Amino acid sequence: MPPRTPHLQPVAKPADEKITINLGCVDLGQIDLLVQEGFYANRTDFIRTAIRTQLTSHADVVRQVVSRKMLVLGIQHFSASDLQAVQDAGETLNIRVLGLASLAPDVTPELALATIESLTVLGALHASPAVKAALATRIR
């Protein structure tokens, strides 16, 4: 029997994740020129637009891989009560998320270890440092 997945609970929209990129001077100059000419509000607007354009052009591939790898697309939140129900049922979870996996602040390292067999996140994982440390060998 496959592991049970707790019901998804609505959570507030998470804050954007920050990334850092290195660009050559010529690329950066071209971006600045487009910003100066009013095509984009600022560098960030240009970069977000470029990323969204690429994601849109590869949307079919993303959908196929999400389906093939059985990933949850979006936000998956686990509260301590969700994980306690998994533990009470004698089951464990193999969590696979493309987006955000969130373990509530009340999830203890012991409960996470008892209920999460593996954790694959393409995107961001929000959990306490203690829970992340406890699950370090199970995060793929």
pLDDT value at 51 more than 70: yes
CA atoms of 99 and 13, how far apart (whole Å): 12
pTM summary value: 0.66
C-alpha closest to that of 72 among 131, 1, 122, 16: 122
Under the banding of pLDDT at 50, 70 and 90, the label for residue 1 is very low
Those residues whose C-beta lies under 8 Å from the C-beta of residue 112, and which sit 6 or more positions away, are 83, 103, 127, 131, 134, 135
Instruction: Quick: pLDDT tens for 89-124.
Output: 999 999 999 999 999 999 999 999 999 999 999 999
Instruction: Quick: pLDDT tens for 72-96.
Output: 889 999 999 999 999 999 999 999 9
| Average pLDDT of the chain to the nearest whole number | 90
CA atoms of 69 and 129, how far apart (whole Å): 27
Under the banding of pLDDT at 50, 70 and 90, the label for residue 13 is low
- Answer with the residue of higher pLDDT: 30 or 12: 30
Mean pLDDT on 24-46: 96
